[in-house]
Chains A and B, each alone.
Chain A
Amino acid sequence: MASRYDRAITVFSPDGHLFQVEYAQEAVKKGSTAVGIRGTNIVVLAVEKKSVAKLQDERTVRKICALDDHVCMAFAGLTADARVVINRARVECQSHKLTVEDPVTVEYITCFIATLKQKYTQSNGRRPFGISALIVGFDDDGIPRLYQTDPSGTYHAWKANAIGRSAKTVREFLEKNYTEDAMSNDNEAIKIAIRALLEVVQSGGKNIELAVIRRNQPLKMFSAKEIELQVTEIEKEKEEAEKKKSKKNV
């Protein structure tokens, strides 16, 4: 049944599926994991870095991109598609400033990206974008925001979310460990993002890329050293928690 309705994007199947969109979502599930956390005074994006070939220059592989001074996004899925979407979003951020004098709100740019994605699910001869995006930032009113878009063009606001490979595992971890109180501490927000990624990433801190935006401050990418520091702290906390457990058991 599926094979007869999954060639052209603009054709519904009898049971109401747009198969090309669903296949795009499968493509997203093959991409490397990205995690977004919304704290009280900080927003965090952490992504799993794919291991690079020996001769490849690591610095050119970037999965967290600034859309404007106060908004940035991470994606999971086809890198080339992401590049196109990010370019369009960056242009829109500046056009908005030109037409209307104000910087975009995070919701506005998310809505723009989602509308762009939706257009490609309803056009002839085009396929959907094979990416999901996590968009974070602060609005003028100082409120932090995290949004997620998917290839079908829908978007939702989240307190914490993950996309890409093993997103389900990470999301379950976040549901268990995310508390609003802890999020009022910036460091805790960063740690929970790293801890969530460590659940699914092999070989620890070397394969994690992290960026934060604090209120009224520009995007800050963490260096490998800073990430290592966080990872060591997390491992210490783990050991201490285990010691306590074993003491109780005895």
Chain B
Amino acid sequence: MALQDVCNWQAPDTQESSLHLPQVSGWTLPRGCDPQAFLQIHGPKLAHGTTTLAFRFRHGVIAAADTRSSCGNYVACPASQKVIPVHQHLLGTTSGTSADCATWYRVLQRELRLRALREGQLPSVASAAKLLSTMMSRYRGLDLCVATALCGWDRSGPALFYVYSNGTRLQGDIFSVGSGSPYAYGVLDRGYRYDMTTQEAYTLARRAVAHATRRDAYSGGSVDLFHVRESGWEYVSQDDACVLYAELWEPKPSKEEEETSKAQS
């Protein structure tokens, strides 16, 4: 085109970057800077907008999460599932890039299933965590973002591992992941005991997520609660986060209390 020639404008070469590196066209960068390095230092920091938590206690492992998927200031999905079942006795709470989490969990499911067929028994939660972290550590430096807590019950009882996409793999009793995790940790550290009853554990988990959704802008929607027992995982409840928070100050009267108050009045 004539104008093109006059201005010496050249169409950008879209086939330059290899398949593995993320596209950086679209960002205006200072001349001479390596796009990857520049973005890593100065680019937008996605703080894993979510609140997920998991803790293990005598009667199993509790996993709870909010349901808000955010993309910067925009709520992409107010009702997303952040706790993904891997198999009958293993759940994962996910945080970071939703797409990465979903993909890697499917890969993990396949790996575990193959090993179970070959060896006659499902690998332990420690094995699953090791497999996931080694798979992801091969993509280190390529902007994979998966921060997950694997909750399961295996031969050694209730087990909980935190896995991050740079290859971190930690065993622990309580983990909370995401932008709302500081608020959740505050509540969890206050109320956690290994010997809790199941009901106490449910209340603690709901309370922790509710507090986090109250103060963290990137967490909200509903609170999903899961429990992994010896017999497998169970979807316990889904409560709206705002309603849950309000109930914390005015607890719903139990049925007995309602009946006694009715009888009295």
Contacts and interface: CB of A to CB of B under 8 A. Distances in A.
Interface residues of B, number: 13
Interface string B111-140: 000010011100110110111001000000
Interface residues of A, number: 10
Interface of B is mostly: helix
Contacts, number: 24
A3 interface: no
A93 B166 CA distance: 26
Contacts of B131: 99-100
B130 A105 contact: no
B45 interface: no
Contacts of B130: 99-101
B134 A99 contact: yes
Nearest to B115: A100
Interface string A95-107: 0000111100101
Nearest to B154: A102
B134 A101 contact: no
Contact of A102 (B118, B123, B134): B123
Interface string A184-196: 0000000000000
B42 interface: no
A105 B118 CA distance: 12
B123 A100 contact: yes
Contact of B124 (A99, A101, A111, A141): A101
A102 B119 contact: no
B252 interface: no
Contact of A108 (B119, B127, B129, B155): B119
A100 B155 contact: no
A105 B119 CA distance: 9
Contacts of B123: 100, 102
B176 to A, nearest CB: 24
Interface of A: 99-102, 105, 107-108, 111, 140-141
